[in-house]
Structure 1
């Protein structure tokens, strides 16, 4: 496992123990960076209007389309470290 993957795994663990809960915009960014870093570009079907939370998550993730998984992992790590 690469150093980046190890740091990403550690950041995932650290994200569960943040000193305070981030605001919703930051939570969406965390989610989107996590998904882009772990899965890659969003290829899932866009949720309907009735599921606003799933739609917001889908939109946040889709905005990162084209970002490499390594870059997304590093941004995720940096964000969690900032919030920690």
Structure 2
């Protein structure tokens, strides 16, 4: 297991314990980076307009489409460190 992958997994686990909940746009960006770093490019069809949450998550993931998994993992780690302070 690479050092980056270990750091990514640690940041994901620790992000659940942030003292203050980030705003929704930040959470969506983190979600997109998490999915890209874990699974690669977005998959499946875009959810319908009535499923607002799933659609927003899908859009956040689609926004980082084409980003290398390692790069997405590093961006997630950097974002988490900024939030952590």
Q: Per the shorter chain, which TM-score range?
A: over 0.9
Q: TM-score, normalised by structure 2?
A: 0.96
Deviation of the 1:2 alpha carbon: 0.4
Partner of 1:81: 81
Q: Which has the higher contact order (CA 8 A, sep 6+)?
A: 1
Partner of 1:11: 11
Q: Does 1:62 align with 2:62?
A: yes
Partner of 2:52: 52
Partner of 2:43: 43
Count of matched residue positions in the alignment of Structure 1 and Structure 2: 84
CA distance in 1, matches of 2:48, 2:19: 34
Q: 5+ residue gaps in structure 1?
A: none
Where does structure 1 differ by over 6 angstroms across 4 or more consecutive aligned residues?
Answer: none
Q: 5+ residue gaps in structure 2?
A: none
Deviation of the 1:6 alpha carbon: 0.5
- Give the alignment's Cα RMSD to 1 decimal: 0.6
What SS does the aligned partner of 1:12 have?
A: helix
Deviation of the 1:78 alpha carbon: 0.5
